[in-house]
Structure 1
Amino acid sequence: MPPKQVKCQAYWAAFVDSLRGSDPRRTARPDAFGFGGQGEIADKLAALVLAGRKRATASLPAEYTALGEALPKAGDLSIILDGAGDPVAIIERTAVELVPFGAVSAEFAAREGEGDGSLRYWRAAHAWYFGQVCERLGGTLDDTTPVLCQSFKLVWPPAASDAPET
């Protein structure tokens, strides 16, 4: 088993051990990813999650379908990786909405917590990134392109004030 997978399993096991026996999250099967991929961007975005500033993320449905993966939904859990691929947090999606790119709200952009938190910043950064994804998948990005707007909460590591009950 690759060392990164072992680290993720141990991290997940520590989270599960912190939960009550009846907590349905004990049997969840989380995915694991670094926001923005790997390297410096994953480090920066993971730090925003840990600081409580990043509480949302956006992706294109086409990214999942191209990989044969199910679309994320509320209640899904994910292990967040840093730039080196090490686990640093676990998030739980609280809402997932399909929104046209041109209709993403300023409120959502602020929850995503990147840059200056403005919708203008969000649109510029995501037009660049989603444009690359669309090009790689043989499409183009425009204001009607569907975007998965995913809100989440940090569930591990726990803040001192909201540690899971055991």
Structure 2
Amino acid sequence: MAMEPAAAADALPPYELGFPRTDMRRKLVEAVLSGAKTATASLRAMYEPFTKDPLPRSGGRFSLVGYSDEPLGAVEVTGVSVVPLDEVDLEFAVDEGEGYTTIAEWRAAARESWPAYNVTGTTLVVCERFRFVGPDGHA
């Protein structure tokens, strides 16, 4: 039995960018939907074995959630690398779709994004690339 498109996206784990009901969430989701955002970063310390969340893996599918956690469509992870903060390159920073034009600017913003952590140049960052595959789960 085939699933309805909306039901298919609802059945996937959520893909959350920023915190619900914030301007940042709205901005990040709009960047994904426009195609400007095809990458996101998080700290390695936010995943197993430090938390219950597994590291993302290439090929994984998730339901992109909007401002109020409503499902907007499927996202497919296309690549994941774990590197020290100082090894993240400008191409990745630009692909985050948040308007960074220098790697120094991105690194400063990254440090500010994770105030609860003592982020240094050697802090491990999960660099995730993805593509929005649409509300029906097909590219």
TM-score w.r.t. the length of structure 1 is 0.71
Counterpart of 1:34 in structure 2 is 16
1:11 equivalent to 2:6? Answer yes
Q: Tell me the SS of whatever aligns to 1:67.
A: coil
Superposition deviation, residue 117 in structure 1: 4.5
Q: 2:39 aligns with which of 56, 60, 63?
A: 56
Superposition deviation, residue 12 in structure 1: 4.2
Tell me the alpha carbon deviations over residues 107-162 of structure 1, each in whole angstroms, 9 at most, x when there is no partner. Answer: 100111113443233212111012x241xxxxx2110011000011111137xxxx
Superposition deviation, residue 90 in structure 1: 1.6
Tell whether the 8 Å contact from 2:39 to 2:96 is kept in structure 1 after alignment: yes
Tell me the alpha carbon deviations over residues 5-56 of structure 1, each in whole angstroms, 9 at most, x when there is no partner. Answer: xxxx97342x59xxxxxxxxxxxx7321331122211111000000000000
Mapped to 2, the partners of 1:36 and 1:58 lie a distance apart of 11
Relative contact order (alpha carbons < 8 A, sep ≥ 6): 1 or 2 greater?
2
Q: 2:133 aligns with which of 141, 146, 155?
A: 155
Q: Which runs of 5+ in 2 are unaligned?
A: none
Corresponding residue pairs, total: 134
Tell whether the 8 Å contact from 1:34 to 1:83 is kept in structure 2 after alignment: no
Superposition deviation, residue 102 in structure 1: 0.8
Mapped to 1, the partners of 2:17 and 2:74 lie a distance apart of 12
TM-score w.r.t. the length of structure 2 is 0.84
Tell me the alpha carbon deviations over residues 53-75 of structure 1, each in whole angstroms, 9 at most, x when there is no partner. Answer: 00000011211234312111111
**Identical columns (%):** 32
Counterpart of 2:87 in structure 1 is 103
Counterpart of 1:75 in structure 2 is 59
